[in-house]
A = this chain, B = another copy of it.
Amino acid sequence: MSVQSQAFTGNCSDCPVRHRAVCAHCEIDELDELESIKYYRTFEAGQTIIWSGDKMAFVGSVIAGIASLTQTMEDGRTQMVGLLLPSDFVGRPGRDGSAYDVTATTDVVMCCFRKKPFEQLMARTPHIAHRLLQMTLDELDAAREWMLVLGRKTAREKIASLLSIIARRDASLSPNGPSGAMVFDLPLTREAMADYLGLTLETVSRQMSALKRDGVILLEGKRHVTVPDMGRLMEEAGDDSDGGLMA
């Protein structure tokens, strides 16, 4: 499976997430410093990027692909606690170990910075520290929004919530169908969806079928989704209409 970065040469100025990642606000000279401590790594779908508890040698940005953060209990139950998309930051400056497993859901390209030099650079570079604070606050908001989904929504609402998040995120990128319908491919298996939603994969499958039966979504194959009416989907999600941000 190819990732979009095949044409990417490793130059920050060509970087697809240049304006959104942790380096977004950097000046030229700061970018030069980052360049000197950065390197690229690719991970295949399914591969673990960082193990929970391991000490991390690097931090970095996801450039292409999707990674997930998961927590695991001793008896094997798992909960996905975050989805990392291109431009998202991986790692925790100021702490050695990761609290969760980071796994490549699709093939992933990362821009890594050696951790020590990055921390030192951050101490000298308010632009980076400030951007990281912003991003962390956004992630905190997202995590808390997800807590509402996990704690209070029904299985059907959970599925609808996940679909509407993915749909809105892909809104800019993917081709829109007729009459403002949204079309996208699910980047997750049913099992990954279940891990994200705190459900079993059987329940995910059933509710997907139910939403399809009720005309809320159309399915072509297992992964290709068309949402004829976003408003309807958002109602199903319990997020009446607005949903917060729909630039």
A residues lining the B interface (CB < 8 Å): 69, 71, 73-75, 77-79, 81-82, 92-95, 99-100, 123, 126, 129-130, 132-134, 136-137, 139-141, 143-148, 150-152, 197-198, 238, 240, 244-245
Contact = CB atoms under 8 A, between A and B. Distances in A.
A94 B143 contact: no
Contacts of A244: 99
Contacts of A147: 71, 79, 81, 143, 146-147, 150
Contacts of A82: 144
Contacts of A152: 73, 77-79, 198
A133 B146 CA distance: 21
Contacts of A151: 79, 150, 197-198
Given A129-B126, A151-B198, A240 B74 contact: yes
A156 B78 CA distance: 18
Nearest to A143: B143
B198 A144 contact: no
A71 B198 contact: no
Contacts of A123: 126, 130
B129 A133 contact: yes
B148 A99 contact: no
A71 B151 CA distance: 11
Contacts of A77: 152
A210 B100 CA distance: 32
13 contacts: A69-B144, A71-B147, A75-B238, A79-B151, A81-B148, A92-B137, A94-B134, A99-B144, A123-B130, A126-B129, A139-B140, A147-B147, A150-B151
